[in-house]
Structure 1
Amino acid sequence: MTTPIVTTSSLTIRSIFEKEKLSGPNFLDWFRQLRIVLKLEKKDNVLDEPIAEELPTNVHKELKDARAKHVNDSTEVAFVMLATMTPKLQKTIKFHEAFEMIELLRFMFQVQAKEERFETLNAFIGSKMAEGSSVSAHVLKMKAYVEQLAYLGFPFEDKLATDGILASLLNSLQPIFDELHNE
């Protein structure tokens, strides 16, 4: 008796089907799951970069191969995206390459993203380290807010993020971190 070969790709795609079918209100959770799977598959770049224009014939083979890989990855990801949507959304979206599809979905569900961005920004700004708590745990929490804001299309410059994190520390720790920050 032979055992079937199961690839990482089929397992991760199956996990999306079991976890989250995009229906609309769950866009942010669905998108988060999609990103995780695509990062594992090393195909998440197709959500961030459109397919480059057709290249001239005299261009280096490496560039042609990179574009061809991007086209193939984008097509595969677009089909995965469609397969993980409700039939109603499938009919609305039709087939586009992955970057265009995610841009269209973001536009359709941007209100959710704005609400989450507002809540995350408020949490970041309003955070203050609790007396007796771990500095590293607090910094990791603040860093997670910064990463979430970037994910929602509101990235902080490194200095601004650092200043926000430092401002959230206990006042008794400020002199230590001010000294480190000024170096």
Structure 2
Amino acid sequence: MPEKKVYVIDAPIPDEHDPTTRAHYNSWLKHVDDSIETASLMLAIIILALQKDLEHLLAYDIITKLKDLFQHQERMKRFETFGVLHGCKMGE
């Protein structure tokens, strides 16, 4: 993904735009277009089961949803690893 489009996963698209200010409107429109393009690239590289659930979302929303889905799994892995390590006996 080009670095110039990474901003679309860091913040959601602003809900409001000012159509009277041409520069502001163009900036908002570029954000929307970049988000759609980035979301398409993201969907192209993930498994089909996730594609079905995420295909209606934009880039920021996809990242947020993926974090929600997989962050819990990471916490559980750390918890299980800590339990295993805690249960180990140290040698003399």
TM > 0.5 between the two? yes
Alignment partner, residue 79 of structure 1: 40
Pairing 1:61–2:22 present? yes
Pairing 1:46–2:8 present? yes
In structure 1, C-alpha distance between the alignment counterparts of 2:60 and 2:28, rounded to whole Å: 14
Q: Which has the higher Rg, Structure 1 or Structure 2?
A: 1
State percent identity of aligned pairs: 35
- Runs of 5+ unmatched residues, structure 1: 1-36, 118-183
Deviating above 6 A after TM superposition, structure 1's stretches of 4 or more consecutive aligned residues are none
> In the TM superposition, what are the counterparts of 1:12-31 in structure 2 within 5 Å?
none
- Pick closer, same or farther for the CA change 1:72–1:92 going to 2, 3 Å: same
Alignment partner, residue 83 of structure 2: none
- Pick closer, same or farther for the CA change 1:116–1:63 going to 2, 3 Å: farther
Alignment partner, residue 61 of structure 2: 100
In structure 1, C-alpha distance between the alignment counterparts of 2:16 and 2:66, rounded to whole Å: 25
TM-score by length of 1: 0.39
Post-superposition Cα deviations, 1:92-112, rounded to whole Å, max 9, x if no partner, equal 222211001110010000135
Farther-moved stretch of structure 1 (73-82 vs 46-55)? 46-55
Write the letter of the residue equivalent to 1:93: L
In structure 1, C-alpha distance between the alignment counterparts of 2:65 and 2:22, rounded to whole Å: 32
